[in-house]
Amino acid sequence: MSALKLVGISGALRAGSTNTLFVKEAARLFGEAEFALGDIRFPLYDGDLESSEGIPAEVQATADLIAGADAIIVSTPEYNKSLPGVLKNAFDWISRVEGNPWQDKPVAIISAAAGRAGGERAQVATREALVYSQPRFVTGPEIGLAQSFNQFDESGALTNERTIENLQVLMDKLRAEAERA
């Protein structure tokens, strides 16, 4: 059997984002897989732009990554008690491509945030924003990384053993779902 294809989506664009670090750590714990990090630097969704120019190449490229994936990890920050606009914008654009790249794909949602709740509300909002696409959500353990700026060492590795253990459980469940397909 060939290696599973795993795609990570970070809902943060900032260089050094803890959500990008978190999704990469999740991919490492997922184990052997062909991993790609999707790029969601898309223009703002605009129906007129779509009508006049079609689907932007960067949107299609990320949608193609998702369509070809065996499993997907989405890591979201929490902005004003919800998912960031850039992530919602990505979901909106990807919903406009031909076909439904998310349908029946195993998806795990995690979050990293500066606050003490670790992005719990953003996870709920992210799940709600993806329901239309009918992925297979892998639930539990829910992992919200609080005070994320203190949770990684200089090399980008997670330092909290309990978080690592819970993330391993979630990645094992995601792998099992991907292998079941």
CATH of the domain at 10: 3.40.50.360
| Domain count along the chain | 1
pLDDT of res. 1: 58
CA-to-CA dists, residue 145 to 3, 55, 109, angstroms = 28, 34, 12
Copy the structure tokens of residue 157: 């590795």
The domain in which residue 147 lies consists of 4-180
Mean pLDDT by 10 residues, the chain (181 residues): 92 94 98 98 97 98 98 96 96 97 98 90 96 95 94 95 97 97 70
pLDDT of res. 116: 86
pLDDT of res. 117: 86
Nearest alpha-carbon partner for 154 in 37, 28, 21, 36: 21
